[in-house]
Amino acid sequence: MKRAAGPVAVSFGTSAVADLEEIKRHYGELSAPEAAERFLAEILKNVEKLMRFPMAGRIVPEFGVEFLREVVVPPFRVVYRVDPGRIRIVRVRRSERLLEIPEG
């Protein structure tokens, strides 16, 4: 696993923030807010690891490009873009859902 020279900056895209809010809302509606909190905590713990090891995730199979990677935090996949000195979390989706390129 390739370690970064120092911690890289992490940011969350609008879609990723919306995904995290949806996870919290969904599990709240199921009367399981504690499950949402556990999932969110585990997702954030894995994102923190990416600060030191940005290349730790695998290449997203739907796209096959080096800079777009993911870590699986069951039942979710955290998709992120690697740029010099930073990563950007772009989506947090259920593992079984394929990613698509937006139309337009």
Residue spans of the domains in the chain: they are: 9-94
What percent of the chain has pLDDT above 70? 88
Q: Would you identify the CATH topology of the domain 9-94? A: YaeB-like fold (3.30.2310)
Q: pLDDT digits over 12-58, tens only? A: 999 999 999 999 999 989 998 999 999 999 999 999 999 999 999 99
pTM of the model: 0.87
The pLDDT, as a whole number, for residue 95 is 80
DSSP string, 6-18: SPPEEEE-HHHHH
Q: What is the pLDDT of residue 100?
A: 64
Helix (H) or strand (E) holding 48: helix 33-52
Is the predicted pLDDT of residue 7 greater than 80, yes or no?
yes
